[in-house]
Amino acid sequence: MTAAARNSWIVRTGMLGFHLAILGAIWTGVSRVALIVGGMLYVIRAFGVTAGYHRLLAHGAYKTHRAVQFGLTLLGSLSTQGAPLWWVSHHRNHHRYTETPRDIHSPTRNGFWYSHIGWMMDKACFEGTASNVKDLLRYPEIKALQRYYPVVLLLQAIAIYALGAWLGSAYPELGTSGPQMLVWGLFISTVALWHATFMVNSVCHLWGNQQYNTGDHSTNNWIVATLTLGEGWHNNHHRFSASARHGLRWWQLDCTYLTLRLMQKLRLVRALKLPSDTQMATGLVNNPA
């Protein structure tokens, strides 16, 4: 079995397993604390994907310290959406080859389900070398996250289970347990975040509206933007891929950008890239000047 075939088998089994494990809630039940932990892990890891994997590593939309970069990349890794260099490489290719045969997750070419989830189960996405992420290879800590990605995921599962087991024995009135915390904190939280993120690839190239003429089918979709902390302003993003802000209008809620602004005030990040007013007024669908 080739490495690509083995990886695709692992992803198929893992994704099916995570979806089936949701049914474990029938036996474990639910508690307020398990819901809170699951919700927090959804939001924190979503931020890791959008601020870390996407806006920082893939697009260099702002600058930060190595430690913050590592922390955000670690959070992105914990989202279980692939190791960082694999994720960034495919995403950069998506921008470079949008909706051409080399775009590996185009719903207009391959259909909704393939662009949503099928492409990750195809061994094609593990073939070839990631030659477009050489700029990130100078960070040994990111290479380590790439290499030890399965270990990171295993440690996350153990930590979530241990948290539930400890809370269950130390504070029995909370009504939680190791298995219950694993179901809500890991399986349900991760699967929910998967589908929210995957909708950027599927829904945001099919349904929504176009603010800018980008020459592709990318759309702005407020539902996806809400679920993904701002990533659903995907047409804006295809127009200004290096921008740290995706929700460019005051009414386009972009929680990632708002958090980055807060982090800028705390001097954790700097040099947020933004399009100028002139750039934002150019290429509009209603005013294609």
Interacting residues with Zn ion (CB under 5 A)? 218
Q: How far is the CB of 69 from Zn ion (least distance, A)?
A: 17
The span from the CA of 225 to the CA of 102, in Å, is 26
**Between residues 180 and 228, which has the closer beta carbon with respect to Zn ion?**
228
- Considering only CA atoms, which of 154, 141, 128 is closest in space to residue 52? 141
Per-residue DSSP letter, 54: I
Q: How far is the CB of 199 from Zn ion (least distance, A)?
A: 11
The span from the CA of 9 to the CA of 205, in Å, is 27
**Between residues 30 and 99, which has the closer beta carbon with respect to Zn ion?**
99
- Considering only CA atoms, which of 189, 232, 242 is closest in space to residue 56? 242
SS3 246: coil
Q: How far is the CB of 246 from Zn ion (least distance, A)?
A: 9
Q: How far is the CB of 158 from Zn ion (least distance, A)?
A: 32
C-alpha distances in Å from residue 284, one per residue of 3, 218, 230: 45, 14, 20
SS3 39: helix
**Between residues 11 and 61, which has the closer beta carbon with respect to Zn ion?**
61
**Between residues 160 and 200, which has the closer beta carbon with respect to Zn ion?**
200
**Between residues 242 and 284, which has the closer beta carbon with respect to Zn ion?**
242
Q: How far is the CB of 215 from Zn ion (least distance, A)?
A: 12
